[in-house]
Structure 1
Amino acid sequence: MIKCLIVEDEIAGQTILAKKLATFYPECSIEGVYDNKQDAFDHIRSKEVDLLFLDVQIKGGTGIEIVESFKEPDFETIFITAHKEYAMEALNNNASYYLLKPIHDREFKKGMDLVLERIKRKKIIPTIFVPHKNMQVPVNISHILYLKSDGAYAHIITKQEHYLSSKSLGHYEQLLAQSGFIRCHHSFLVNSKHVVQLEKGRSGTLILSNGDTIPISQRRLNDFMSLFQG
């Protein structure tokens, strides 16, 4: 199933989108419907979302501000607006597509077909097999937020699961080196795609897309500052 989220402050707009999805794309599951920025943001950072329908103007802010909160979103976004002048701004902020209100079936299906193809391509993502509780568990690399060392073991944290692997953090550092994972501390390996903020102090702290905070060692801080400012 394709996990969808609708963020639209008008009930009529919510209903129209839900009906179109049910009619034309039954493989899409609506995981939540929100009318405001904060509730939508909380859902996205704590749960997996494949496709986000975002009205530009919503309660508490804008849909664009939601997308801007994620450095490298792992979801596709279709912006919805009644104002054509917002279209270019939406496309400049990681929008996969935009729809003008009123939404016509032909344009809706054109956008959906394009976006669903991108989602399906992304889902063909390498997995790693994690030794966990006497089993080899497949874990989608893009879903991993960070890994934490525990002696000769490693904790693997995703938005929805927590695995304890019998492999070391060093093993995963080598395995995931080409997948955007960075050693920020002797005890932590983070997925850079889930970093939403860097707070600089004596050392530093990374804030991830689910709200977890990860320390940066002093000797690695300058490297991280250069990476995220660049």
Structure 2
Amino acid sequence: MKAIMVEDEIASRETLRNYLTKYCPSVELVAEAPSVAEGLKAIALHQPDLVFLDVEMPYGNAFDLLEQVQDITFETIFVTAYSHYAVQALNFSASYYLLKPIDIEELIQAVSKVEEAQSQKQDQLRTKILIDNLKTMNHQLKKVVLPVMDGFEVVQVKDIIRCQANGNFTDFYLADGSKRMICRTLKFYDEILSQLGFCRVHKSHLINLEYILSYKKGKGGTVLLQGNHEVEVSPSRKKEFLNHFIS
């Protein structure tokens, strides 16, 4: 794969360049850029298959760069020092990212996933979903990428009634009556959906507050959701849940 790197830190560029040379022989690094402006020029000139993109840079960030690309035809691996906002956005769209300092095994894994997705032309869609989500003000209109056995599905937040833990999987119950079993834990989705109108009411249950019809008192109580979903509220999470309805 023909790749470019957009990274403002010289030491970070050198580290990633060396790692790619030694551990990712399928990647040919054809250009490096220290800023958004130079990155845009390199993308236009080289038409890469893959872009390693630092999230935070002077005079703009990764999302600013992507918004200025007319037609995204490349895969993207984001590189970032920990930023809750950035990581949440990337997780939501199931984008690939590496946390600094870069771990070699994670780099190899990310490149392998991109190679696999490239053959199915999936990653461009992931990146477009990421940009759409960043532009969307209404949380319920955001989209989430759900990895399934043969690829992934894209659903809007507003179409998710609830999520239920199923071992290392999570069962998604959708407004059309369908169900999806997703190979990620409920904790993962709790972290990205809790800021978007969802509430963890039980260790096994995450619900969309927009679908609540009624609440019945009890030690923890129970919530009735549209679609005839009845969900138990654990006593330890009762106060947090009720706080959503206190004006």
Scaled by the length of structure 2, the TM-score of the pair is: 0.45
Greater strand proportion:
1
Greater RCO (Cα-Cα under 8 Å, separation 6 or more): 1
